[in-house]
Each structure stands twice: as structure tokens, then as C-alpha cells.
Structure 1
Amino acid sequence: MSPVAAVAVLPYALPLARPWRSAAGGATRRRGWLVRVEDAAGRVGWGDSPAPLPDPGDEDPAGILAALTAPLPGRTPQQALAGLAPSPAAIGLEGALLDLLARQRGLPLARLLAPDAADRVAVNAVVPFDGVAAAVAEGFSVIKLKLGLAPWREEVAALRGLALPDGVRLRLDANQAWSRDEAVAVIAALAGLPIDSLEEPLRDPDPAALAALQAAAPFALALDESLEPGRLPDPLPVRRLVLKPARLGGLRATLALGNAARRAGGEVVVTSLVESAVGLAATAALAAALGPLAHGLATSSWLAEDVATPLPIRGGFIDVMAGEGHGVTPRL
């Protein structure tokens, strides 16, 4: 394979379509760094290292990337990847090298990650309660709603008031809002509703308490922010894991964790952390390698501007086999 000839790290600050707010703070721009890797034949791979949300804090991803990319020229993508340890800051370099390697082999990135990867990925919509009807009209069959923002009885009443056509399911995310007693009551109150899953129901995500809740729930419970990078809970206390490559150390580390979860009998959903179109395309390729559930990749609408045109969503699906690599080239 042709060796790397040139590397560049390019910062971006993309305005958000609406402010990002969470318990940790807020943001009005999505910041990060694109990584461009070119081989001696002129082929180019692109990756994205998004900054932590809502604030990069004291981390220095730019410095880490500069140190990692300096020795790359002269190495093949495989050699560079072999020496690259999992790291949230290094995900852009890893993505660029994988994109370049897939292009060198004439493959979509999804097929490089898994030969049996799906041609397209189902995605869920993430909307407020008053956006459900519009999401259904756009063809989404899985709708994600945030809970824990009001008293749980009010939120359950609002869920019961939704007019959902047959086949549409609700993916709920409590963001660790409830005590164990509250979670038990919510799960009972959701009986009869088309629930796909409930993420992070417990304020204190004790494995034994989660396992007891899962045993009582007729739908999947899921872990997200309580997951530790590189560590699969043993045994799995819930049926589903929500994996964010930008938090778990990169595409390969997330693929390994997801495959381990599936071998242990768990379900896997891959979710974006509002990456740029470059990062989102790589995450979609990973999702295609990890299974048929709807994944959390409909996040481009958060960005008022982007570095490239994102992969389109049609009828609730993203096509990940449109070309070589991850299929997105920045407008730079």
C-alpha cells in the first residue's frame, strides 16, 4: 500500500442551529479538528476529532493530534494504525487513516470495518414532544425523546397523548434522572405503549438495581454515559448499550466493544455526538458494521453550517455504500 505523504490538522468552529444545553453547561458552536491524510498516489482520507461537549476544558486535542501526526509520513496506513492507541482526541487521525485505507482498497469504509456490513443504516429521529408528528411524516419509525425534564407523571401522560401510527416506536432517554422507586413506577406506567428502549433510568446506575429493573421491563433498558471506555460490564445488567465513538476512544475500540456486547447477548446502538459531516459519515459506517437496530445518527440538523454535505437521510435510512471510504469530502 502507498505510504502517507502529507498530513494536516484543520480546526473548525461550526455554529449550532440552536444552543446546546446540558447539566454540564452550554455551547453555541461545535468545535473540533479535521485530519487530512494524503498518500503518495494522491488519495486523501478525512477524519474528525470533535471537542468534548459542552466545553473542551483543559484538554489539548490539537496538541495531541500534532504529536501523533508528526511521524506519519513514510508509514503505510496499516503501520500508522497499528501504533495508534485508542483516544478521544485521536479519533480524527484514526478515522482519516481508515478512510484512506478503504480508498486504497477500493472499499466503502463500512466493508473495511466488517465484510458483512449492511448497505444502509436505520436511524432514529431526536425531537421534542411537539416534533413527533413531523418526524413520522419524514419516514422515521423510531423516535427518541428526552425524559427527566419534568415530573415523570407529566411526561408519561404526554407520551400517552401522542398519536402514533402502527410500527412507530419510542426510544426514551432519562439521562439518569430517577431514583430506583421512580424508575420502577415509570416502567409500570409505560405498559401498553410502543417503547423501543429506555436509556439510563437511574440516578445511581448500580448494576444490580439495573438488572432488577431490566427483569421487570418488557422492553430494553440501555446504558450510555455510565459506560466506561474499553470496559464491557460483566454480566450485562441491561439488554442494550449505546456507544459513542467520540467518547469511547475511536472507531476500532467501539467496534471491539460492540462486538463483545453482541457476543454476550446484548444489543448495540451507535450514536453521534454531533460530529461534523465527516465524523458522522465514519460513525454511520461503524453502525452498519454493528447491527440492524436504528442508530442515533440524525444529528446534522444541529449544525447551522457544516464542513461538507452530510450523507442524506431518506425514509429514516442512511446509505453507507455510496462510494469508497466514508463518502464525504470537506469543502476546503
Structure 2
Amino acid sequence: MIERLQVSPYELPLHRIWESARGGFVWRRGWLIQASAEGLHGYGDCAPLPAAGTETPEAAWEALRQAQACAASRSAETLLDALAPVLAAAPAARFALECALLDLASRRRGVPLRHGLSECARDEVPVNAMLGPLGTLAPADLQTACDAGFKVLKIKVGLQDPTAELKHLVELARHLPPGIGLRLDANGAWELDAARRLIDGLNPLPIESLEEPLREPDADRLAALQTGAAFPLARDESLHGPLHRRLADLDPATLGVRRIVLKPAVVGGLARTLTLSARARAAGVEVVVTSLVESAAGLWPTAQLAAAIGSPIPHGLATADWLDADLGPAPRPRHGQIDLPRTAGSGFDPSP
């Protein structure tokens, strides 16, 4: 039984702006969740980001307040069920609560969280480097990431004139070592004709994938673009919005792309993301898991989930270095991957 559910607000500065075609931010604000029982604690992070598909901070706080009010003396299994009507429109709050409960359960069982999600979970997770907006990058920035062992370098595009961006990418690609791919994220920046021209120009380059090319995503238009692309197109934030209420019934084969990007705080939890990932991979659709630039309390369980999914494609989890401060030690990649602890729980422990 849960003895106590503690909700503590936090503010964490970024060392520079996180920028995309949908806007940017320089702070991550949220709540650290701590579920306690029998002297053990499990942790979760509720850091809503409406531009990415979560609820507003106000809605998240209301959901957490109600969870705190009814958590005492309930089992972990019944708490989420009891809160289902409240959490239906609060995926970031649901993610945080589920992480705390699963972390606590895995600590009580004495196993890593990932093994509670899948018996076949890996002990390491390949990740991409997150380099930021294209306009800020020089060849030396790419070389630094390559020297650190990353094989996939993620770059935000769609912030400047498409022709200028393509020219910049062609120049950067000239300096890439063999075997290194560029993962581009347009965040829905382009109209159809511009996206088609960009893809034609990108095809000769070492592009690993392109996320959200269309301002108005449509499965048929995306499928037509995918036919002309030599690399996977991916859907991320466009999986939500109008699709959000039927994510549980989503057929990944009908999305018009070869890849989906899943953020557990937007999907509404680890278990839901694991289920959706399994359906996607069964349909031949690739899966990448990414963070919302959460604190270490959110990044650790997300990395555990990626290990349980087991996709060999690098995930978007190398985001801890963007924060100037954190709630505790965060997972940090070495040689392009995150090695997960063999100890019980998610791996998160709060700083004193």
C-alpha cells in the first residue's frame, strides 16, 4: 500500500534556449513525485509541455493534487484506475505517477525497472546527439559529437529559409565521417511543395531520418513524400492533437511514414508507450523514444523504457547536458549509448 505521495515543485534552467519551429524555452518547470511505502521511495517527473502534446501546467497540477488526496492506503495497482477520469486528459501527470509507482514496485522487488516492463530488456540504450538548431552549427560541432561516439546527430531545421538550410546541410555533410547520419526535425515547418523540394535535395546526403516535415500532416501526403524519400520520415507531435484520444487504438501502419517518435509523457505512461511500440514494430514501423527535456527523475525511467522496447535505433535521450541544474544525477551517454544500472528501480536518486 502507498503510505505517502509527495509532490514538490521545481524550476531548472537550461544553459541555452531549446529552439524549434514550434517555439522555444529556457526553463523546465514541473513537479517531482515521490511515492513511499515500507521505507522505500519511487520517483516520477511531471513536466508538462503543451507545445509537444501534453496538458497545461494548470491541468497537470489539478491532476496531481487529486492524486495526492486519494493516494494514501491505496495499492499502486488501484491508484491509476481510481484516477482514470482525471488523468485521461493529463498524460504528463499520468506518466509521472506511473513512473513513481513502477519505480517503487521495482525497488520492492529488487529488480531494475526495465525488467518489470520486459524480461528481454537490454542493459544499454543507443542514443543520438542533440545538437540544436541548424543555424547555430559549424562542422566542428558535428566533429565533437562524432568524437564522443555518436552515430546519429539530431538537428532542428525549419527555422530559416529552406533553400539556405539545404545549402547549410550540404556543407555540413561534406565534413561528416563515414557511417554518421543526420536526424532532422522540422517540427511541422513546411508546406507540401517546400517539403518535397527539400526531400529531393536531401536524398543524396547521409540523412538518417526526417521528423514532421509538414505543417498540416496528412497520412496520404506523408505517404507520397515517403515514397520519394531515401530515408524514413517520422511522425511525433502530429500523433497527438486530433489523434490523442484514440492513441490506444492507433494503427501505426496507416500513418504514411516509416517511423514514429514516442514521448512517454505525451503518450501517458511507460506501459502505454510499450504497448504502442509493440504494435508499431509488428506493423513494420520503426520506433524511437525521446524525452521532453525532463529532469533526471523523468529521464531515467524513459531510458529504462527504451531498454525494454529494445529498438536498435538510437533514441532521443541524450538531453541531460542541456540543463544547468538537475534534481539528481542523470543518465549520460558514453560512446553513443546510455549504460543502465543493474540495481533496483529506475536509477534515479534525488540530490540531497
For 1:75, the equivalent position in structure 2 comes to 74
* Candidates 251, 264, 270, aligned match of 2:289: 270
- Paired AA for residue 15 in structure 1: P
Deviations, residues 198-227 of structure 1 (Å, cap 9, x unaligned)? 111111111101011111212100001100
Name the CA shift for 1:59/1:311 in 2 (closer, same or farther; >3 Å): same
More helix by share: 2
Looking at structure 1, the residues matched to 267 and 31 of structure 2 have their Cα atoms a distance apart, in angstroms, of 17
Deviations, residues 61-84 of structure 1 (Å, cap 9, x unaligned)? 223112113222223323334445
Name the CA shift for 1:259/1:149 in 2 (closer, same or farther; >3 Å): same
Looking at structure 1, the residues matched to 331 and 222 of structure 2 have their Cα atoms a distance apart, in angstroms, of 36
* Candidates 45, 48, 60, aligned match of 1:48: 45
For 1:35, the equivalent position in structure 2 comes to 33
Query: For residues 13-24 of structure 1, what are the structure 2 equivalents within 5 Å?
Result: 13-22=11-20
Looking at structure 2, the residues matched to 190 and 21 of structure 1 have their Cα atoms a distance apart, in angstroms, of 22
CA drift of 1:123 comes to 0.6
CA drift of 1:125 comes to 0.8
- State the percentage of identical aligned residues: 47
TM-score w.r.t. structure 1 length?
0.93
TM-score w.r.t. structure 2 length?
0.88
Structure 2 residue 158 is the aligned partner of structure 1 residue 148: yes
Contact kept? 2:21, 2:158, Cα under 8 Å: no
* Candidates 165, 169, 174, aligned match of 1:159: 169
Contact kept? 1:148, 1:174, Cα under 8 Å: yes
For 2:203, the equivalent position in structure 1 comes to 191
Structure 2 residue 314 is the aligned partner of structure 1 residue 304: no
Q: When the two structures are aligned, how many residues end up with a matched partner?
A: 329
Name the CA shift for 1:21/1:218 in 2 (closer, same or farther; >3 Å): closer
For 1:226, what is the secondary structure of its paired residue? Answer: helix
CA drift of 1:21 comes to 4.2
Name the CA shift for 1:178/1:25 in 2 (closer, same or farther; >3 Å): closer
Looking at structure 1, the residues matched to 342 and 122 of structure 2 have their Cα atoms a distance apart, in angstroms, of 12
Contact kept? 1:81, 1:97, Cα under 8 Å: no
* Candidates 94, 101, 108, aligned match of 1:97: 101
CA drift of 1:236 comes to 3.0
Contact kept? 1:77, 1:100, Cα under 8 Å: no
For 2:262, the equivalent position in structure 1 comes to 243
Name the CA shift for 1:268/1:7 in 2 (closer, same or farther; >3 Å): same
Looking at structure 1, the residues matched to 130 and 301 of structure 2 have their Cα atoms a distance apart, in angstroms, of 20
For 2:130, the equivalent position in structure 1 comes to 126
For 1:88, what is the secondary structure of its paired residue? Answer: helix
For 1:213, the equivalent position in structure 2 comes to 225
Contact kept? 1:88, 1:247, Cα under 8 Å: yes
Name the CA shift for 1:320/1:186 in 2 (closer, same or farther; >3 Å): same
- Comparing 178-187 with 230-239, greater Cα deviation is found at 230-239
Q: Runs of 5+ in structure 2 lacking a partner?
A: none
For 2:343, the equivalent position in structure 1 comes to 323
Deviations, residues 122-175 of structure 1 (Å, cap 9, x unaligned)? 110111432212111111110011111222222222222221111111101111
Contact kept? 1:236, 1:266, Cα under 8 Å: no
Contact kept? 2:152, 2:314, Cα under 8 Å: yes
Looking at structure 1, the residues matched to 332 and 196 of structure 2 have their Cα atoms a distance apart, in angstroms, of 39
- Comparing 153-162 with 216-225, greater Cα deviation is found at 153-162
Contact kept? 1:145, 1:170, Cα under 8 Å: yes
Q: Pairwise CA RMSD of aligned residues?
A: 2.0
